[in-house]
């Protein structure tokens, strides 16, 4: 690939790395990453991927920017309040790096549209804020054989794990979402903005390493972060033979939205 002088200067700190070089940069520029959710996790993730030169970034979000988002969703600015998040994110990415092509998907992911949406990307980042979406992304990526980064945050805490086909999936660890009344959402419990920043940045690192084919991905290991006591814990995990999705006798054999799956699982027991 022939890099322009501007590209060589822009990506010089990437290219200097032995593990990246010109060929790695080429892989990044040809890379396609889909970020589901342009919120706390998706904001830093999108900005770092754009800065690194990941050539195509897809953004999924059906919401508009709200004043209460700005405490942590750093891709959106005060002037963007009321604007669609996908548009606000696209504007920032393009301003940061005109090399990047941004695909906007102003949708809410459902079992009807997610497989079609993720199909054209190399890697998916879960930046959603609810369990139904997280399990839907997990299941869709399993069926489409698509690697993805799971991330979740609450208060001062976060967790993340990367899935590539054949490794531990989210349902191996958590067969189903917790009951709705048992776990508060960020809007009820609060979350410190930096937690989103750190976790979303870890997710961006995973996407970049996947595209480069370098380093070790966070597979079969779950990373917990506790920003309050500043404690990071890495826990080894294994595939679960009883996983309802990827186990020996899967109960989930087609993509469904979480409410339906819960009914099916309960009905089956």
Partner 1 sequence: MNPDKTIDLRGVSCPVNFVKTKLALEYLEEGQVLEVILDPGEPIINVPRSIREEGHLVLNIINNGDLCKLFIKKT
Q: Is 193 exposed, middle or buried (0-12, 13-18, 19+ CB in 10 A)?
A: middle
Contacts with partner 1 in 23-52 (CB under 8 A)?
Answer: 23
Our CB check for partner 1 shows the closer of 9 and 66 to be: 9
Interacting span for partner 1 (CB under 8 A) from 5-13, 92-100, 182-190, 241-249: 5-13
* Nearer to partner 1 (CB atom), residue 8 or residue 259: 8
Residue 52 or 195 having the CB closest to partner 1: 52
Q: Residue 80 has what DSSP assignment? A: G
Q: Which of 4, 18, 67, 181 binds partner 1 (CB under 8 A)?
A: 18
Using CA atoms, how far apart are residues 90 and 94, in angstroms rounded to an integer? 6
Does 263 participate in binding partner 1 (rule CB under 8 A)? no
Q: Is 213 in the site for partner 1 (CB under 8 A)?
A: no
- CA separation for the pair 71, 54 (Å, rounded): 26
**If binding is defined by CB under 8 A, does position 266 make contact with partner 1?**
no
Tokens of 221: 């290991």
Does 21 bind partner 1 (CB under 8 A)? Our answer is yes
Which of 7-15, 38-46, 112-120, 141-149 is the region at the interface with partner 1 (rule: CB under 8 A)?
7-15
Is 22 a binding residue for partner 1 by CB under 8 A? The answer is yes
- The residues, ordered by sequence, that sit 6+ positions from 93 with a Cβ below 8 Å of its Cβ are 46, 47, 50, 57, 75, 100, 102
Confirm or reject binding of residue 3 to partner 1 (CB under 8 A): yes
d(C-alpha 153, C-alpha 190), whole Å = 10
Q: Which is nearer to partner 1, 23 or 238 (CB)?
A: 23
Asked if residue 12 binds partner 1 (CB under 8 A), the reply is yes
16 binds partner 1 (CB under 8 A): yes
Minimum CB separation from partner 1 for residue 9, in Å? 6
CA atoms of 112 and 9, how far apart (whole Å): 43
Quick check: 9 binds partner 1 (CB under 8 A)?
Answer: yes
| Span of 11-19, 72-80, 94-102, 253-261 interacting with partner 1 by CB under 8 A | 11-19
Neighbouring residues of 91: CB distance < 8 A, sequence distance ≥ 6: none
Size of the site for partner 1 (CB under 8 A): 10
Q: Cβ of 169: how many Cβ atoms within 10 Å?
A: 25
Bridge partners of 151, per DSSP, are 160
> Which of 129, 90, 81, 92 shows the shortest CA–CA distance to 108?
129
**For residue 239, what are its two tokens?**
């595939």
Q: Which of residues 61-90 bind partner 1 (CB under 8 A)?
A: none
What residues make contact with partner 1 under the rule CB under 8 A? Answer: 3, 8-9, 12, 15-16, 18, 21-23
């Amino acid at each position: 690939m022939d890099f322009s002088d501007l590209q060589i200067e822009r990506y010089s700190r990437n290219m200097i790395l032995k593990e990246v070089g010109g060929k790695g940069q080429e892989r990044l520029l040809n890379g396609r990453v889909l970020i589901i959710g342009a919120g706390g996790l998706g904001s830093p993730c999108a900005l770092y991927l754009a800065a690194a030169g990941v050539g195509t970034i897809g953004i999924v979000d059906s919401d508009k920017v709200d004043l209460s988002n700005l405490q942590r969703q750093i891709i959106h600015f005060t002037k963007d309040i009321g604007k669609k998040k996908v548009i606000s994110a696209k504007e920032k990415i393009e301003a940061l790096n005109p090399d990047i092509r941004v695909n906007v998907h102003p949708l809410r992911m459902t079992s009807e549209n997610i497989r079609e949406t993720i199909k054209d990307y190399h890697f998916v980042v879960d930046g959603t804020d609810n369990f139904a979406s997280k399990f839907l992304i997990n299941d869709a990526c399993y069926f489409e054989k698509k690697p993805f980064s799971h991330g979740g945050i609450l208060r001062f805490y976060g967790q993340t794990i990367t899935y590539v086909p054949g490794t531990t999936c989210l349902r191996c660890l958590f067969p189903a979402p917790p009951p709705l009344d048992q776990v508060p959402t960020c809007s009820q419990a609060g979350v410190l903005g930096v937690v989103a920043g750190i976790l979303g940045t870890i997710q961006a690192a995973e996407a970049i390493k996947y595209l480069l084919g370098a380093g070790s991905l966070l597979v079969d290991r779950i990373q917990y972060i506790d920003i309050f006591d500043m404690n990071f814990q890495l826990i080894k995990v294994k595939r679960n033979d009883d996983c309802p999705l990827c186990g020996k006798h899967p109960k989930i054999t087609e993509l469904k939205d979480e409410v339906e799956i819960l009914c099916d699982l309960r009905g089956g027991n």
